[in-house]
Amino acid sequence: MIHTHTLGYPRIGAQRELKFALEQHWRGELAEEELEAVGRDLRARHWAAQRAAGLDYVTVGDFAFYDHVANHIQLLGCEPARFHFTADTPELTRYFALARGVDQATQGTVETESTCACGPHGSPALEMTKWFDTNYHYLVPEFLPETSFKLASTRLFDEVDQARALGHPVKTVLLGPLTFLWLGKEKVPACNRLDLLERLLPVYGEILARLKALQVEWVQIDEPILSLDLPPAWRQAFEAAYSRLASGGVKLLLTTYFAPLQENLRLACQLPVAGLHVDGVRAPEELSGVADWLATHKILSVGIVDGRNIWRTDLDAALTRLRPLAVLRQELWLAPSCSLLHVPVSLEGETALEGELKSWLAFAQEKLDELNELKRALKGEAFDWQLRRAALANRCGSERVHDAGVAARENELPLNIDQRASPFGIRQAKQRVRFALPPYPTTTIGSFPQTANIRAARAAFRRGELGAAGYGDAMREEIARVVASQERLGLDVLVHGEAERNDMVEYFGEQLGGFAFTRNGWVQSYGSRCVKPPIIYGDVSRPRPMTVAWSVYAQSLTQKPMKGMLTGPVTILQWSFVRDDQPRERTALQIALAIRDEVLDLEEANIGIIQIDEPALREGLPLRQAARKNYLAWATRAFRIATAGVRDATQIHTHMCYAEFNDILPAIAALDADVITIETSRSDMELLRGFGEFCYPNEIGPGVYDIHSPRVPTVEQMTGLLEKATCVIPAENLWVNPDCGLKTRDWRETEAALANLVEAAKRMRARTGLSGENFA
């Protein structure tokens, strides 16, 4: 018997309905009841789409207004006590307080009032970090030795009721208890989060019992940490935990994805569950081993369609892998490799994509159709895949994919292309003479608020209603505003604000050869933040300068240093849908060479400080330790190739955020950037400790302003963070900056926070006794 299902579906809506509803709600323009209605409508549409594609079950529990891990924090009743929620605080208000923090002035999660009762300085949001090796960000649970759990939300059960009322066969999804604990953070040294499992399991038992009462037959329980190198204690905890959960009266489908199971394969197969899902895209070599070890009465679910990329599946190859399994199994389920959260909704609206390229692609809805095609083929029904086969053959031989000039350049690279001329100490001395910055120099990460006027001008330009000259004038006006604001605030190193950029990856991809773009290919990054990843379909090159004119104009408005702002090769790679017909290493090299050309043109235009952001360096790290050395070698080399051609007095910055860095600090040092800025405010400078213990040799700017929250931190809060930073990093190597770019904030918050940031730097200079003279 063959069944089809999906591990999850894109929650934002085909037209980003969830994003716009959330932002209206946060502005006080959409009531809570109206937001809930948007959620109900989206879920109903998504379930209907799954059934229309022939899926045997709809997935319930994958929807979230901000983040599915945050949903579980509320479901399991472990909201941190530091938020001081009162009994009458509405659940959704608490939810957004966890995600966005509570402002000290309004005591609200947004610009409007809320009913939160919080401390005198408000409450910072939960930390946010990357979901395994994806560009999705989740909210990090916080654990203390006294953390307790209870069934505290009915939202999941209400959604089951909604799906059943619509007549759908339901499969519910839960994040597994061990993965939930693994993803959290111990807030004091005395806490061991695995010790909390005994308190957590009874709540999972209550949830399963409640689902059984709602006549739910199958519960998908996600344990992606089984694809990691787990400590022995965590591996051993699985058998006891699932022995207890097996008595819940519902069928459990244990779900793993993103990497091979390896030493955990036998463990996963032998756990007392009714079925096992494995990632047949990331670990096709394990399918035969799983089939051998998994008892024949258990369901085998194969992730046969890539849930992480947008290329059409080779159905013939997939069928070849599936047929032996179908013979061996009593029941075989087909699914995407992971949740479809990571791909756009549908190709249906992509009327501007060139026909040949479009024929190579499959978004979420098309991937569900592929599952149905495979199901029919395995059941012996007639199928005609000639058009699919022709599209695959066309892609392999297409002239648009291969560029002989790019290949020739790759083959002629000198051996030392990734090495700066001098070591950091020599470069630092020359840069301090050139720029004469004060101690604790202040700067921002790059972007400034993208106002309604900016978005309107960009949209009018794209529609042809605003000419190139008019658009250029509008962007220069915004750049002038940003520069004047920074001058007025007293920042030391300025940025032009990136008004002309729609996205830090898309902007560059639009100007590089080998990239294509969609109109509506949005995916969720976090909350209401959506990105539209470029599609890298061919060899990458830079036909012309991309940023030089904007940076030169901005520099002409000030005597202070103006940073040139670029996105690094690894981040462009990671935040794109990447071609799968050559190694990612080679594509990264091609991007690095294109960025190198831009860096050298900026330097030639007398832009003396150039920032090449690499927030996705950690994200690209393979989940398995054995594969990490090779990845870090080519990834750091790509960055150095992009940056190493400049002179000693040119200062190279990089930026990283929302990830754990401690296990890759040698690789970060190997980037050899003169200055690195990192996100640290949500962790209360905890992330910086590793840099100090590692004795990070170059300059560093720990973030003191969480730009993902509407909270404006006080001067005292910022100086408190900087004082913690001086305990682990020499004061003469510290910069002062926000956590990340300011694109999503408004001007009021931005200027208030930056004024406090400048004042905090001044106080630190006075307290430490550093002056411009002894600093240089």
CA dist 353 to 349, 362, 463, 464, Å? 9, 13, 16, 18
Please state at what angle helix 32-52 crosses helix 364-378, rounded to 10 degrees.
30
Q: Please state, as a whole number, how many other Cβ atoms lie within 10 Å of the Cβ of residue 240.
A: 12
Kindly report the number of other CB atoms within 10 A of residue 430's CB atom.
15
Q: What φ, ψ does residue 367 adopt, rounded to 5°?
A: -65, -35
748 in Cβ contact with 456 (< 8 Å): no
Using DSSP bridges, classify how beta strands 513-516 and 332-336 pair: parallel, antiparallel or unpaired. Answer: unpaired
Nearest to 257 by CA among 201, 340, 183, 190: 340
Query: Which of these, 252, 152, 141, 249, lies nearest to 196 by C-alpha position?
Result: 141
Residue 597's SS3 state is helix
Give the pair of three-digit tokens for residue 320: 């070849």
- Written as six digits, the tokens of 265 are 């394969």
Q: Is 625 exposed, middle or buried (0-12, 13-18, 19+ CB in 10 A)?
A: exposed
Tell me the two tokens of residue 204: 């999972």
Query: What CA–CA distance (Å, rounded) separates 618 from 207?
Result: 35
| Residue 326: how many other CB atoms lie within 10 Å | 17
Helix-strand-coil split of the chain, %, nearest 5:
45, 15, 40
By the 8 A CB rule, do 254 and 276 touch?
yes
Residue with tokens 């739910």: 216
Q: Phi and psi of 98, rounded to 5°? A: -60, -40
CB 492 within 8 A of CB 442: yes
How many beta carbons lie within 10 A of that of residue 194, not counting itself? 16
**Active-site annotation, residues:** 708
Helix (H, G, I), strand (E, B) or coil at 651: strand
Using an 8 Å Cβ cutoff, are 124 and 84 in contact? no
User: Could you tell me which of 65, 62, 67, 68 has the C-alpha nearest to residue 8?
Assistant: 62
Distance of alpha carbon 304 from alpha carbon 31, whole angstroms: 41
- Max distance between CA atoms of the chain, in angstroms, equals 81
Residue 385 class from Cβ within 10 Å (0-12 exposed, 13-18 middle, 19+ buried)? middle
- Report the distance separating Cα 32 and Cα 26, nearest Å: 10
